Chain A
Amino acid sequence: MNFYDLANPSFFLRLVTRVLPWLVAITLLLFAAGLYLAFTAPQDYQQGITVRIMFVHVPAAWLGMFCYGLMAIASIGSLVWRHPLADVSAKAAAPLGACFTFLALFTGAVWGQPMWGTWWVWDARLTSFLVLFIMYLGIIALWKTLDDPNKAARPIAILTLVGALNLPIIKFSVDLWNTLHQPASVFRMDGPTIHPALLVPLLVMALAFTFFFVVMHLMSMRNEIYRRRVRAMRMRAAAAPSARASLAETNKA
């Protein structure tokens, strides 16, 4: 087995079928352990019960960013090597990233309300995540609008990479904007430093989310490969209707 075997879609499909059950089992175990640890962990003396939101908020935020990083790497793959599997990977990751980013925004809001008394602040971190969410939606909309997936991949890859350049600039500019507009910051967004008793469940949950993402991503990539095969076969059938008819005849015979 070498790199080129791995890059072959058929080989990739066989690999997915083989490893998927194991990954699903690991994900379920990690979620069970993570949830158990999350609800038996001691309460934070400052945050009380709401600290438990952190166990889903931080992993969701981590995957929201990780997923964009993955898309950026896949985009380089489809621009440099023009490999269809890189296109498939980038396309399959976008909706997943949007889901995790939405989840991070939602859990952040329900964490913020009891902690700081507001659902939303225009803080650098929250604002960058909102922008990240909009970028995911834009990329998904573009995938849906450009109908030929082979032609769509490279322009979208360029957009993804420009977005990756943009995110740190947004983070920086919103930080500056905040120092200009908020005379005295009411909120300390970093939160208290994490106690080790809370760190272990957090890490287990983060790992569970990551494995869940890998499972979803592989399944979604498989769907995308199937979708392209269906598309290619339909186009061949449309190009040669007589051949299709004769093939159907021979099949009957």
Chain B
Amino acid sequence: MHWITALFLRDFKLAVRVGGGALIGVLFFLAVVTVFPFGVGPDLKLLARIGSAVLWIGALLSTLLGLDRLFQADRDDGTLDLYLLAGRPMELVVLVKCAAHWAATGLPLVLATPLFALFLNLEPIAIGAVTLTLVIGTPALTLIGAVGAGVTVSLRRGGVLLAILVVPLSIPVLIFGVSSATAVLSATASFTTPLLYLGAVTLFAGVVGPVSAAAALRYASD
């Protein structure tokens, strides 16, 4: 088995098994979606209008919640040092770890979205749009979050600080994602323009995230 496949499977299995905590994210997502109507009122028309935004914010918060597990365990048991000693390109290691993390925490969010969208009275086309934008956008959140996770890896309890550091960096993802998802309900707004920008941000994060996170992890180890 190629080492990339091995690394991906190892991280994925560790995340979804007992104690990995990957599915906590979906539960949190459900909690956020449930709590929103209590805040804004049960008006179904209003919920249909803001539903896509609620789902996006829920997905963002759930992603932030799981980020501190991205490198923490590997640093604690010394696996991170082994990756460095083995001479593997750290950028690639980070990218594979992000992919596994996304498959374990981000993908369940995307899969749960159509179901949770029903609570928010979303139209079928809006459900499709918000799911599609989340498929494209949540990898960007994980990749950007990797920078914060790499920078705070040496902190004992860096979870909240990590979220504060990552939120400003994830604003463009949120803007393009929600713009695209809500555009299907409007007659004038363009759906594809923000969607393409969202894709661009994800690709950009795919480069900047692993490179900066890898640099931060190298400094954290020496």
Contact = CB atoms under 8 A, between A and B. Distances in A.
Interface of A: 79, 131, 134-135, 137-138, 141-142, 145-146, 151, 154-156, 158-159, 161-163, 165-166, 169-170, 172-174, 176-177, 180
B161 A173 contact: no
Contacts of A161: 212
Given A145-B158, A176-B179, A180-B183, A166 B150 contact: no
Contacts, number: 87
A140 to B, nearest CB: 11
Contacts of A155: 150-152, 154, 216, 219-220
Given A138-B164, A141-B164, A169 B150 contact: no
B216 A145 contact: no
Secondary structure call for the A interface: helix
Contact of A156 (B151, B179, B183, B193): B151
B197 interface: yes
Contact of A173 (B164, B172, B208, B219): B172
Contact of A158 (B151, B155, B197): B151
A173 B147 contact: no
B216 A177 contact: no
A146 B165 contact: no
A145 B161 contact: yes
Interface in B129-156: 147-148, 150-152, 154-155
A135 B165 CA distance: 7
Interface in B199-222: 201, 204, 208, 212, 215-216, 219-220
B147 A162 contact: yes
Interface in B167-213: 167-169, 171-172, 175-176, 179, 183, 189, 193-194, 197, 201, 204, 208, 212
Nearest to B180: A180
Given A155-B220, A159-B165, A170-B171, A142 B183 contact: no
A142 B161 contact: yes
Contacts of B158: 145
B201 to A, nearest CB: 7
6 contacts: A134-B164, A145-B158, A158-B150, A172-B172, A176-B197, A177-B175
